[in-house]
Amino acid sequence: MCDTIVALGSATKDGSTLFGKNSNREPDEVQNLHINPRKSYSANETVKCTYIEIPQVEETYRVLLSKPFWMFGAEMGANEHGVVIGNEALMTKVKPGNTGLTGMDLLRLTLERSVSAKSALDTLIKLLETHGQGGNCGYRRQLKYMNSFIIADRNQAFVLETIDKNWAWKEVNEFWSISNKISIERDYDASSPGLINYAKQKGWCKSEDDFNFYKNYSDKLMTWGAAGFNREQTNRCHLRDNAGSLTEKDFMSFLRHHKDKPNWLPQKDLRFTVCAHAANHLSRPDQTVNSLVGKIMQTSAVWYTTGAASPCISPYFPIFGVNTGLPREYFPGDKVFNNTHYWWVAEKFHRLANFNFTASRGYVTPKIHDFESECLQHINDLLQQGKQPDQNVIDYWFEKAINLTKAATDFTQKLPKTRINPIYRAYWNKYNKQNHVPMG
């Protein structure tokens, strides 16, 4: 149950485009960072996606991907041309098929093939109409869904929302947010003919004038369960209230939101918050497993990621500079704990913090604030000098992020045990055992 936000230059402090996304998936579904170089292909080559194989193009662009470890596609990412995309699951009356391109496949393929937000919009629609969407998107559970997307570059942003091979899109004016619900109602700029025709056939609307995408296609119960409306509106209020002065620091803050409750605890809330914390298998089965924030300027872009779950207690560090690779000490993880894989290094701290959240968050929050203030100042100073973050800069800030996380782990391990809901404790102990996370 994800959240994606965007603001164009008219709403930001420095005229750049800002993008942010929390990727919420199953709580032990590792999400890794990848940087794939630009690559050329010979004629008639194909690309094997999560469930189907499709024709490859002659050239793919350099991309940053944040992707679940087991699938081809990505939850969010950006490319060398400053195009960025985030996707959301939509809970709709029309159910996806057993095969096709997943929303994550569509996102990755589009980033690899697009030089602008508008060309990305056209590319994604063409892929959708040609190959369709479908297949299980869950890791340990069965979960199929339709998809919505925010697509942006330095000048434009679009919202694209899809049902099977049908779609509608609107161009963003200033800012927008999407959160596991259809956000387009009557305000679309274009739609596929089949979208409205199918709704008329099913009796969901009487005519094109009567068509409302959100009202006609939403599965109301599933959409309510995903708490998409509350999160969408929370983010939209933040964007509106700060329009004209928005910065990347604001976007990081928005993605850490817990209903403005300073004493919020993950074991007590019944509904998803923007910074999502898993608590049970029914009302809150998902966790924010990675977060991405980007600033796209006219001649360059900078990207920040937690590379880990729980952005409220994880630092954002810079990633994907010009000609840089992943940080030297970053290693992708898989389904079992490994103390050399950053996602799991951070996750050990998060699992410990689950059982002593107030003290752990109280310790790490000011350290994250100082870390990010210094980091953002460093990067912005470089940009003002006409420079870009190089590999040394990427490595430096990632090493500091690791050290901060390890210090927080050491602090939390020494805390006295606190009383906690036994059902919540059992829920997380099951994952700790299943993932072989050493909690001592």
Domains, the chain, ranges and CATH? 3-333 (3.60.60.10)
Dihedral (Cα; 68, 358, 340, 78), 10-degree rounding: 40
The pLDDT of residue 225 is 80
Structure-token pair, residue 242: 């700060």
pLDDT, tens digit (0-9, with 9 covering 90-100), for 25-57: 999 999 999 999 999 999 999 999 999 999 999
| Cβ atoms within 10 Å of 56's Cβ, excluding its own | 19
In degrees, to the nearest 5, what angle opens at C-alpha 43 toward C-alphas 37 and 47?
A: 55
SS3 344: helix
Alpha-carbon span 279 to 259, nearest angstrom: 16
Mean pLDDT in residue range 65-76? 98
Structure-token pair, residue 215: 């009202």
pLDDT band at 417 (very low <50, low <70, confident <90, very high): confident
pLDDT band at 228 (very low <50, low <70, confident <90, very high): confident
Nearest to 106, CA basis, from 82, 131, 84, 139: 131
Residue 340 predicted with pLDDT over 80: yes
Alpha-carbon span 287 to 309, nearest angstrom: 7
Residue 93 predicted with pLDDT over 80: yes
Main-chain phi, psi angles of 223, to 5 degrees: -65, -40
Q: Distance of alpha carbon 7 from its chain centroid, rounded?
A: 16
- Please give the C-alpha separations between residue 306 and each of 129, 247, 347, 382, 401, in angstroms, as whole numbers: 34, 17, 11, 21, 9
Q: Kind and range of the H or E element at 106? A: helix 103-112
* Cβ-proximal residues to 182 (8 Å cutoff; 6+ apart), any chain: 90, 92, 148, 161, 213, 214, 217, 218, 223
- Please give the C-alpha separations between residue 429 and each of 26, 219, 424, in angstroms, as whole numbers: 15, 33, 9
User: Do 52 and 99 contact (CB within 8 A), yes or no?
Assistant: yes
**Which positions are annotated as active-site residues?**
2
- Please give the C-alpha separations between residue 352 and each of 55, 243, 289, 405, 440, in angstroms, as whole numbers: 46, 37, 16, 12, 9
- Please give the C-alpha separations between residue 117 and each of 78, 114, 150, 272, in angstroms, as whole numbers: 11, 8, 10, 30
State the pTM of this model: 0.97
